[in-house]
Structure 1
Amino acid sequence: MSEGRIPRQFIDDLLVRVDIVDLIDAHLPLKKTGANFVARCPFHTEKTPSFSVNRDKQFYHCFGCGASGNAITFLMEFNRLDFVEAIEDLAAFVGVDVPRESFSAQTSPQKKDDLNNLYQLMEQAAQFYTEQLHAKAGAAAQDYLRRRGVGEQVLRDYRLGYAPDAWQSLSGRFNQQALLDAGLSVKNEAGHVYDRFRGRVMFPIRDKRGRIVGFGGRVLDDSLPKYLNSPETSLFHKGREVYGLYELLKKNSKPAQIVLVEGYMDVVALAEYGIDNAVAALGTAASQAHAELLFRFSAELVFCFDGDRAGREAAWRAMDAVFPCLRDGRQVRIMLLPQDEDPDSLVRKEGVERFRARMREAQVLSDYFFAEAGRDLQLTSLEGRAQLVGKTRPYLEKLPAGIFREMMFARLKTLSDISHLDVLQNEATLNRNVRPANPHAKGRMTSARMAIALLVQNPKLAMRPELQEIDWSTLVFPGVELFRHIVEAILAQKPANTAVLLESYRDSSEEKSVKALAFLDLLIAPDNIESVFCDALASLIKQSAENELERLLSKKMLTPDEKESLRKLLAFKK
């Protein structure tokens, strides 16, 4: 459960309060060059600096890899934080507390102290389970773990424990309502409260900060259910967490590859063999949230599945989760295991080096996807190729715009032999007309590009009377809708600088375009910005009027409104 939304005004004020140069320089030494500060980019390998930070715009941009954004984006990318974590870190950097908006009365939010108490309870429960594993009651669990080859170091690293086979081991030690809130106890229809986990090896599930948010419990024999997980609570959301991520990052904060396996014991067994870059989904299929979480820490994911029919079906379902996440530079491999093997059994049978080789040799997603999609289809026939298109296109359309998306559609064209297959681009029109500036590019910038870029970089220009009095219905040029949207956004929000304006476009369809405009090098002296903007705007208005006049004059019959428009345009031209 959230503590409440962070007020938008606080976020805007925070971006005004922080100096992005000071923030980035604290993480990455910057060197002043002209109006900007530069460094070698932290987001890709390079020999000469192409990472530039502008103090006036409060914005960074890498001309090498295209990374760009404001102070919040930098913390998210550099420290691999989610949005809220980045806000909290940025607030700490400038020495302020993060306020929270209150929910409506119906939502009954828990206070921060309540959540802290639950975290403390989970920690105490984990300690209790650890003590029980090493007590007389845990003898059978110790024997089970020894048979599975789990050593003392891995026991400590993953804080494994044991839940005694008793109905009320916890309730006599901790507050009953708190146990229910944490998902450690269950209340039946008769109102009796009892421990959720009994007679099981316990696997604490930790979030990225090391806080215990839930547990997984495994039986010591073949009884069902084999695994039992914590329910959804204010601390635990299984669709957004993976087991073993905290332990992985503690050993390697920037793993080259992360392997997603199916079970807790697979993670623990691989760690015992020194393969400590494995994590597990928590009793649910891999989700988009899982993929996005893991991609924050590694550019390559390996999805490990059993090689049977169920494993292949799980691998295909994973396409739904990962395709929306596959931006350029990210890669997924599919690793199908031999029949009747899991990672635990296979690493014991074949040894660690062979298992690592399987990880390296795992099939890249593109090859697996098209091979699996074409399975049982007669691609020599028109019908078979049409089926291939129908089966694959819904997935490909989920891919983010970029080179990988284009190449996947190109491969489908080749396999299906359909030369006219459209490659759908989800870019806005302006993304095709307004592109990031190349500092070495030659050629005159269009009036539209100049005007919109100046507006993004200098939001105060929206206050010009020429803009506030404009008749938008008379303007027709590529990018006019984005231009209008930016003007309206500035007038409504009154952002103090470019960084604040950019924040209002986060995760929107226009974000990429606005970012591209924000770091265009317009080569205009500060004293000339307003006059250049007014000239560009006047040029747009004039060109739109001429285009509309030409259109009306070419028509044989005009409506009364068109006649009035023509009269105004002819008067305007004089």
Structure 2
Amino acid sequence: MALPANFLDELRARTPIAAVIGRSVKLSRSSRDWKGCCPFHGEKTPSFYVYDDHYHCFGCGEHGDVITFVMKTTGASFMEAVEDLAAQAGLDVPKPSPQAAQAEARRASLSEVLEAALKEYQLWLWGQEGRAALDYLRRRGLADDTIRRFQLGWSGEGRGQLAAALRGHNIMPDQLIEAGLMKQGERGSADMFFGRVMFPIRDRRGALISFGGRIMGDGQPKYVNGPETALFSKRRSLYGLNLAREAVRKGARMIVVEGYMDVIALSQAGFGGAVAPLGTSLTEEHLEEIWKLTPEPVICFDGDMAGQRAALKTAELALTQLTPEKSLKLLRLPPKDDPDSLIKRGGKQAFEAELVKAQPLSAVLFDMLKAGQDLATPEGRARFRQRLTDAANSIPDKMLAGEYRTALMDSFFAGRQRPAAGRGFAKGRFTPSPPPVLLPPRSAPDPSAAQVRRARLMLAILLAFPALIPEVEEAFARVTLPDVDEPLREALHGFVSQAKTLDSASLFTHLGSLGLGEQARALQTQANVEFRLAQDASPAEAVRNWWSLYELMDFSIDMLRMQRDEAQAFWLANPQDRAACDRLIRYNQLLERARSGAAGVEEF
């Protein structure tokens, strides 16, 4: 038996094709897509491209979807490939049965019913009875070509008008009810839509799955979407996705807006990558669908309070799915504006001017979480800090979560302390000013020079013992290095995120590929001579020395307390993580020594 089309669509949607192909083909990012050397013919220059739902080799012409790839690379039959992918996606393959065959036949029948209704709606819009609706769309600024491209229609005014029109096509009211075009009431069946401009809703492949309708004027509800059916699920469907996919592949920005008219207005103005949810907030399924097309979509919300609430809800949902490869930007329009009204007032240039203001989630999350918080009391500040910690901990990628925790807490403490001249924000990190120190009238050590020497020695220890990096990485991010050494710190971070083994030889190979090998060797030579860094030290000795240097850095007690709290929150969320437990112990020790006055700025 042929498998149901909806099951195969669900299987493809739940199986990221790039992840499947990436198991056997080394892929690298190419704009919004992926590329690699073709597995079907020998080549040295990549000509094999992987898109959101298919692959294509421009060298040999091989082409297909994720099921085809598994079949061709493993020799599996169609059913074997489907069963393998379904097991990975957590789906049950439908068993052959008369009921399954009937369900598939009903789905095909529903598609035919919807297409027949669409033809009637379009005929009515362009006929005499739809003149008022057509004039309304033109007054809203839509060109006739745009109205035809989006296949807009008119539902008619009379109840039962659609059923009467389709009766000649042997389509009965019970079929219209099943398709979501009519509803059963106490007095019999009635049209779901009447007196409304009609918007066809299509799935990602362009199949018609439902309709939405907008009333002309100020009545309520302004918009009505079709009900859930065998074809239509609101939490999985995005208006305009079938058209946006093609536009995004050609280089358009993907922009998520709030409504039908926003999508159409943006498309008409040249922003073809616009989509909108259908009467719901963005869902996990929506974000997954969007991220298949682009790693960083722009989420555009209206400038009113409802838009701000929707933006925060979307941001908090996105955090639970964020990875280093998947993020988003947020664009807040001016108050009382939406994309449709903005374009109508100022044209394409007005929206372009706003679009360039879109900011990464990491840049706006703190202010979004801060809105409405009471920070006037210790209790309120504590609640806010907990909210910041919870937001960062909701990110599944531990390294990315650590970066967000650092950024959020830096912003929190930056708002409470005024940095002295020449200090403060440096390369995105907040460095608190040390307390004033009264020096005796004699030659004294230079604390700033000592700070630099300690920081460089800490870096040299990590170059010699890269296996220590995961344990100290978050703490090291707060250490101020000379500008010349910042590229080495960034290179260590990149090495840990991709290396299979954390040994010094692999690290220096990585540094050499970045052009940093000579600089790293020079620093090690200086450490061996000036700092007497022992080459035969054990990792345990090295990490003890590293933390000993760290406690001599001029951090305030507030900063150490914040670091301890972050480490504690992370350990509570990951109680089996031994390194997290060790970090928490270290921070408690450092904080206790600082409170007792045992740690301070000393000559190294």
> Given that residues 302 and 333 in structure 1 are in contact (C-alpha distance below 8 angstroms), is that contact kept between their aligned partners in structure 2?
yes
From 288, 291, 309, the equivalent of 2:284 is: 288
CA distance in structure 2 between the partners assigned to 1:175 and 1:88 by the alignment? 39
| Structure 2 counterpart of 1:215 | 211
Instruction: Verify: 1:118 aligned to 2:182, yes or no.
Output: no
Question: Does the Cα contact within 8 Å between 1:161 and 1:202 map onto a contact in 2?
Answer: yes
**Aligned counterparts of 1:434 and 1:185: Cα–Cα separation in 2:** 55
For 2:30, the equivalent position in structure 1 comes to 44
Displacement of 1:441 in angstroms is 5.2
CA contact (8 A) 1:163 1:200 kept: yes
* 3-state SS of paired residue (2:256): strand
Give the aligned residue type for 2:260: Y
Which residue is 2:396 aligned to? 400
Matched, 1:157 2:149: yes
Matches within 5 A, 1:419-498: 436=500, 442=506
Alpha-carbon distance between aligned partners in 1 of 2:210 and 2:191, rounded to the nearest angstrom: 14
Alpha-carbon displacement from aligned partner over 1:180-227 (angstroms, at most 9, x marks no partner): 11101111024x112111111111011111101111100111111100
Compute the displacement of 1:97 (Å).
Answer: 5.1
Asked whether the 8 Å contact 1:42–1:78 carries over to 2, the reply is no
* In structure 1, distance between residues paired with 2:35 and 2:202: 38
Match of 2:181 among 181, 184, 188: 184
Match of 2:161 in 1: 169
- 2:119 matched to 1:127? yes
Flag the 1:366–1:271 CA change in 2: closer, same or farther, 3 A.
same
2:272 paired with 1:276: yes
Q: C-alpha distance in 2, partners of 1:4/1:275?
A: 30
**Partner SS state of residue 300, structure 1:** coil
What does residue range 39-438 of structure 1 map to in structure 2 within 5 Å? Answer: 41=27, 43-44=29-30, 51=36, 79=55, 86-87=66-67, 98=79, 101-102=93-94, 110-172=102-164, 173=166, 174-190=171-187, 192-253=188-249, 255=251, 257-377=253-373, 382-401=378-397, 403-417=399-413, 436=500
Q: Cα 1:438–1:354, aligned 2, differ >3 Å: closer, same or farther?
A: farther
Match of 2:160, SS state, is coil
Gapped regions of structure 1 (runs ≥ 5): 12-19, 29-35, 56-63, 65-70, 424-431, 444-574
SS of the equivalent of 1:218 reads strand
Q: 1:361 to 1:403 in 2, by over 3 A?
A: farther
Other structure's SS at 1:351 match:
helix
Which structure has more relative contact order (CA 8 Å, sep 6+)? It is 1
Alpha-carbon distance, 1:338 to partner: 1.9
In the alignment of these two chains, the number of paired residues is 394
Normalised by the length of structure 2, the TM-score is 0.56
**Closer/same/farther in 2, CA of residues 401 and 107 from structure 1, 3 Å limit:** farther
- Superimposed CA distance per residue, residues 382-428 of structure 1 (whole angstroms, 9 cap, x where no aligned partner): 444422222233332221315432211111232345999998xxxxx
Deviation at residue 108 of structure 1 after TM alignment: 7.5
Mapped contact 1:333–1:365 kept (Cα < 8 A): yes
TM-score norm. by structure 1 comes to: 0.59
Deviation of 1:92 after TM superposition, in Å, equals 9.5
Paired AA for residue 348 in structure 1: K
Q: CA deviation at 1:329?
A: 2.7
1:433 and 1:340 map into 2 onto residues whose CA distance is 44
Tell me the CA shift for residue 304 of structure 1. Answer: 1.6
Amino acid in the other structure paired with 2:182: S
For 2:356, what is the secondary structure of its paired residue? helix
Deviation at 1:371, TM superposition (A): 0.8
CA contact (8 A) 1:254 1:298 kept: no
Aligned residues with identical type, % of pairs: 29
SS in 2 for 1:326: coil
8 Å contact kept, 2:323–2:400:
yes
Listed as ranges, the gaps of 5+ residues in structure 2 are 13-17, 41-45, 57-63, 83-91, 415-429, 431-470, 475-495, 508-604
Distance 1:110 1:400, change over 3 A: farther
Change (3 A) 1:377 1:107: farther
Name the SS for the 1:325 alignment partner.
coil
| Aligned partners of 1:122 and 1:213 also within 8 Å | yes
